[in-house]
Structure 1
């Protein structure tokens, strides 16, 4: 075997004991080496070595040592002979030696090579030695295999054993398990290896039995819903194990259930998040979630009726389910109702309404209503809803929607108040009389002052300065600042007071607002359909409705804002009204 340059050493001449023709050294001056990759010394083979040394009258082959501190020497190669001689002769035995004056790095490399060259090392010890050598060679596996005299495939197999836990490696060192056991266990997470190991040892499980047990708890990669790019090089992928080891489970399996489940959960969360732009409610269905959802149906035995189905699309309990069940992991079920009791009531109401409509009207009596008149008195009742139970038709009032509409109310009320100084003065006095003048924020008013008074910075930080500032204003500026006070007051009003002021003003949002992207961005796709139905967009879309609503949310919004021949002005959905 060719030795690399880092291992080519020349013994340095020594006066004693190295200068002797057959150098020896008392065992008391020799210490076991720090770099021996061998951890297990088999009692049977050690007993044979002891008997051989005793029969031969001593150690025939010198051990390799190197000088360390204080006149002591450390073993590089030959620890088994050292141990056997110690047992036969004790500390004062003069051990045949060969001295190599080398540094730590070279001593470690020599110890690895010397031990690997022998045929009685455990595969686990070879694995540790191979990992250390590859580390010394900065990852050059080809060179490591050449130094050991191994094929590259054998080196890779031994390195793969380093996926075993320390407990498994020790068990293989001590020959408590076979190489096949270790190769199968290497595919598992280390905590799982340590759970299998005691059972294998105590119950003498065969390699075949262990393989069957691991296959039972592994996960099929064919059913994975996540990106498997990383799996191609993962040590827990049975396909990689098949290429690497003599023993492995069937290909196409993941033996790290924890990692598999974590990646699956992350993908489920991604799917769930992607559906939240489309539905008010999105839920992941788990084992045990029976009877918590039902498919929303328009007609048939379980249908709620056409009008009610439209209303259901805006309900907070309408949406999509993502399966977290093993047999359908990641599958999406759209159009789900998560309030099964409500769904049952709507179905019952539709059936009752249809039955009532099918009954012939009673014969007219004096003073009574005719069938036609009775029907007319019930006008406005839709199929699937009773006169006392109206379908829900409002877009869900999320915080985003509430903040959006309150901002609209303030904006348009400020606009109307600012357009009429008399109205502004009236509202300012009313707000002050109601004890809400504290809502006027000084910073905002100072900003408005600087807009009204050109080339001036408001430096009124106390009452004296404020008096001087006010005294310097023209009449027009004072009037404008009174309007500005009203604007600042409206900005700070609480929502109930703001609504009362809007109603008093009879603020008409239709004069200012029309459908926009910033509003539609706040809604799910199903809520957009409700809004589109309210303002007449669905009717304008006609036969293209389904095609438009099948688009991704950004494209859907763009399409809803560009419907030809639709008049957008004056159309305000209910959710924005006060």
Structure 2
């Protein structure tokens, strides 16, 4: 919904503006223009409570109008319903298009957009209308200290200076900045780069084997640089070599975690908005049952820091889908409130007053009710595997039940899916049944009719059953699920926990699945010991639990009949 209106300045509140610095001289010029001509271009707002509005874009115009005309002035505005994420994106894009926005302000807002894109920098670049290089450079500024960012916003240093400072650990940036600003004249970016290259890569922070660095000519050793007082000696002056070894070490650490989590990301400066700890309890908790389910989600995992000062740090148990996480938290809060509402109306104290419900801890009494509602996003490898299992189950059911076969065959024709009946598969089946050899499985209609007519009734009956079954591999997943659901096929009759499935899962997915089907409880204290081993040993242990009823235990990730 979008409406155009004139709204009193006093009924409008500042919003989530990515612009934090308003240049005084530019504001004076804008105020003079507003005093002379008024506000000509509408600001963008979104409705809030009690007839008030929040600015999405246009705060400079609103500030100028408020100062010149006061709260009663009616400013032109576009009113649009936007959530927080949409408002952030609209505000950033509007400010970028108007230019003169501080790069640090762009960086902070772009980091939020990146979070909405689940860390996908290419998608964030597309939404912002930036090149990938521009986005990467802006996000790198997120590693700048507050003083460095403020100096850039106030234009005491140039963008290039800030980009170079971003590569220095935060605990050293302020000292380097002070040295930079204390010089008689501000060095050019090229000059500053040359100075920084001597001290920007501390060997003490290296996460790779430094054996070769001891005697390397690029080890600064006791060399003195302009900023030697601010930063201790022992730095690599060969940036390409240092960075290359660092990336190799990060990749190796990522590979070492591949069996533990569905997703492992190397997180770089500016991607802090993509890091969200998965919690069951507390204000940002999703609830116990949902948290268990989330551990099997494709968006659950760990991050490895590539941020200077935190290189190689591993941050486990993260959710990389902030939007989904927010919905799960909101659902848990709503469920708790709904359950508490009747208690507020009926529970009375001895004095006859309503009892006050206890404050929620995020560990809800509603947990038993939320178990069946827990939802996750499965990995693509699991989706591909279960689709193969579902198709195989349908083929078996149709080949074994003539009535269901006929029903599905007619249903396929009526729904436009008869085209998925495979002539090649039927031809191969015919050859196998009749023990005949054919140079090709492409038959003319009269030739096919003659072959079928010459076959006995048993052969024709098997071919008839194969008509619908042959379509199982071709129909779309949505259609497949519809048929499986209609036939009420019990997947437990066609599949049970096996090595092939377990090897598709990471350790976190395995743990969530075992908890779901009761295998974790059945193993007792031996479960933790098994999970600490190698993947092959884990699989072997899980498939050899005495007295555990594997038959019929179909985990959620394999089922087709779930919401």
TM-score category (smaller protein): 0.5 to 0.7
Q: Closer, same or farther in 2 for the Cα pair 1:382/1:255, shift >3 Å?
A: closer
Query: How far does residue 292 in structure 1 lie from its aligned partner after superposition?
Result: 4.3
Q: Closer, same or farther in 2 for the Cα pair 1:576/1:306, shift >3 Å?
A: closer
C-alpha contact 2:421 2:467 (8 A) present in aligned 1: yes
Q: Could you tell me how far apart the structure 1 residues matched to 2:387 and 2:512 are?
A: 21
The yes-or-no answer on 1:465 pairing with 2:447 is: yes
The Cα RMSD (Å) is 4.4
Structure 2, unmatched stretches of 5+, are 1-191, 224-230
The corresponding residue for 2:420 is 439
Deviates more, 1:493-502 or 1:549-558: 549-558
C-alpha contact 1:305 1:384 (8 A) present in aligned 2: no
The yes-or-no answer on 1:398 pairing with 2:383 is: no
The corresponding residue for 1:124 is none
The corresponding residue for 1:551 is 533
Q: Could you tell me how far apart the structure 2 residues matched to 1:542 and 1:357 are?
A: 39
Q: Could you tell me how far apart the structure 2 residues matched to 1:306 and 1:260 are?
A: 44
The corresponding residue for 1:518 is 500
Q: Closer, same or farther in 2 for the Cα pair 1:388/1:563, shift >3 Å?
A: closer
C-alpha contact 1:214 1:255 (8 A) present in aligned 2: no
Q: Closer, same or farther in 2 for the Cα pair 1:559/1:387, shift >3 Å?
A: closer
Deviates more, 1:511-520 or 1:300-309: 300-309
The corresponding residue for 1:271 is 253
Q: After superposition, give the CA deviation of every residue in 1:304-356 in whole Å (9 maximum; x if it has no partner).
A: 65444323323454321211122221111212344375686589679979999
Query: How far does residue 280 in structure 1 lie from its aligned partner after superposition?
Result: 3.3
Question: What secondary structure is seen at the aligned counterpart in 2 of 1:466?
Answer: helix
Q: Could you tell me how far apart the structure 2 residues matched to 1:463 and 1:355 are?
A: 70
Q: Could you tell me how far apart the structure 2 residues matched to 1:569 and 1:290 are?
A: 44
The yes-or-no answer on 1:482 pairing with 2:464 is: yes
Query: How far does residue 452 in structure 1 lie from its aligned partner after superposition?
Result: 0.5
Q: Could you tell me how far apart the structure 2 residues matched to 1:397 and 1:301 are?
A: 26
C-alpha contact 1:446 1:458 (8 A) present in aligned 2: no
Query: How far does residue 448 in structure 1 lie from its aligned partner after superposition?
Result: 0.9
C-alpha contact 1:296 1:336 (8 A) present in aligned 2: yes
Q: After superposition, give the CA deviation of every residue in 1:159-197 in whole Å (9 maximum; x if it has no partner).
A: xxxxxxxxxxxxxxxxxxxxxxxxxxxxxxxxxxxxxxx
Q: Could you tell me how far apart the structure 2 residues matched to 1:450 and 1:407 are?
A: 24
Q: After superposition, give the CA deviation of every residue in 1:273-326 in whole Å (9 maximum; x if it has no partner).
A: 433432233332323344543444556787665444323323454321211122
Q: Closer, same or farther in 2 for the Cα pair 1:250/1:336, shift >3 Å?
A: closer
Q: Could you tell me how far apart the structure 2 residues matched to 1:465 and 1:351 are?
A: 69
> Of 250, 263, 272, which residue of structure 2 is paired with 1:281?
263
The corresponding residue for 2:546 is 564
C-alpha contact 1:406 1:495 (8 A) present in aligned 2: yes
The yes-or-no answer on 1:420 pairing with 2:401 is: yes
Query: How far does residue 217 in structure 1 lie from its aligned partner after superposition?
Result: 2.6
Q: Could you tell me how far apart the structure 2 residues matched to 1:559 and 1:463 are?
A: 55
Q: Could you tell me how far apart the structure 2 residues matched to 1:537 and 1:555 are?
A: 16
Count of matched residue positions in the alignment of Structure 1 and Structure 2: 350
Q: Could you tell me how far apart the structure 2 residues matched to 1:527 and 1:329 are?
A: 27
Please say which structure displays the higher CA radius of gyration: 1
Matches within 5 A, 1:92-107: none
Structure number with the bigger relative contact order (C-alpha 8 A, sep ≥ 6) is: 2
The corresponding residue for 1:377 is none
Question: What secondary structure is seen at the aligned counterpart in 1 of 2:505?
Answer: coil
Q: Could you tell me how far apart the structure 1 residues matched to 2:307 and 2:267 are?
A: 7
Q: After superposition, give the CA deviation of every residue in 1:203-260 in whole Å (9 maximum; x if it has no partner).
A: xxxxxxx9x958843533343223446657755345799xxxxxxx999542211221
Structure 1, unmatched stretches of 5+, are 1-209, 242-248, 375-380
Question: What secondary structure is seen at the aligned counterpart in 1 of 2:471?
Answer: helix
Query: How far does residue 264 in structure 1 lie from its aligned partner after superposition?
Result: 1.1
Question: What secondary structure is seen at the aligned counterpart in 2 of 1:430?
Answer: helix
Q: Could you tell me how far apart the structure 2 residues matched to 1:348 and 1:422 are?
A: 48
Deviates more, 1:558-567 or 1:352-361: 352-361
Question: What secondary structure is seen at the aligned counterpart in 2 of 1:322?
Answer: strand
- TM-score, structure 1 normalization: 0.51
Question: What secondary structure is seen at the aligned counterpart in 2 of 1:219?
Answer: coil
The corresponding residue for 2:347 is 362
Q: Could you tell me how far apart the structure 2 residues matched to 1:528 and 1:225 are?
A: 30
Query: How far does residue 509 in structure 1 lie from its aligned partner after superposition?
Result: 0.7
The corresponding residue for 1:153 is none
Query: How far does residue 568 in structure 1 lie from its aligned partner after superposition?
Result: 0.7
Q: Closer, same or farther in 2 for the Cα pair 1:419/1:507, shift >3 Å?
A: same
Q: Could you tell me how far apart the structure 2 residues matched to 1:347 and 1:490 are?
A: 39
Query: How far does residue 529 in structure 1 lie from its aligned partner after superposition?
Result: 1.8
